[in-house]
Amino acid sequence: MEGLNFIPYTHSDGIPMHRDSYIKALWDRIERDGLAPIVFDDGQVKDADSFLAMVKDGTKTIWFEIQVYGETIGMVWFNRLEKTHAYCHFLAFPEHWGRKDSVVIGREALKMITHYFPTIMGMIPTWNTHAIDWLKKVGLHESIVIPNLIWSASKDKAMEGMILYITAEDLE
């Protein structure tokens, strides 16, 4: 897709591609837009410092800023990295919700990472039907609904979740 860029959190000759202050400003935007309690409801990312630590931890997380023609529209990250699979997480800023090209952007992000992980999975609380519907449009397949799959820190209890998946072959 023309104008689409995935900018990784990585280092070039020892210099990070993103400043810590920039990553923390993205967290401020996530909080301001009311997305933190939805996307990070498991309680592991609570503030700008823990968000920065997640983004920077390249052994557990592969993180990308998503830009279209230089404008940041969101981010995608992959974690629970195994030899055969990784879990994906997408975040789009509200002013970009409903973009006609959102499915193309999602598929491009997944194509990029399936060079390294042949299967990509998503684990979504079943109440988040918007995210589930969008992931299905991107091409993920519904696998199973499991009671008590996802921890909700805000509710202090386990919630029902759905596992979805897509393979590199699905994206060809």
> How far lies 73's CA from each of 86, 127, 150, 167, in Å?
23, 24, 26, 25
Question: Which domains are delineated in the chain?
Answer: 4-171 (3.40.630.30)
With contact defined as beta carbons under 8 Å apart, do 92 and 130 qualify? no
Q: Rounded to the nearest 5°, which phi and psi values hold at 132?
A: -60, -45
Q: Single out the residue of 63, 72, 60, 80 nearest to residue 25, CA to CA.
A: 72
The DSSP bridge pattern shows strands 119-125 and 85-92 to be parallel
pTM across the whole model:
0.94
Nearest C-alpha neighbor of 90 from the set 52, 47, 127, 128: 128
Bridge partners of residue 98, in order along the sequence? none
CA 20 vs. chain centroid, Å, equals 19
What is the chain's pLDDT, residue by residue, as a tens digit (172 residues)?
Answer: 999 999 999 988 988 889 999 999 999 999 999 999 999 999 999 999 999 999 999 889 999 999 999 999 999 999 999 999 999 999 999 999 999 999 999 999 999 999 999 999 999 999 999 999 999 999 999 999 999 999 999 999 999 999 999 999 999 9
Give the burial class of 74: count Cβ atoms within 10 A of its Cβ; 0-12 exposed, 13-18 middle, 19 or more buried: buried
Q: What is the pLDDT of residue 64?
A: 97
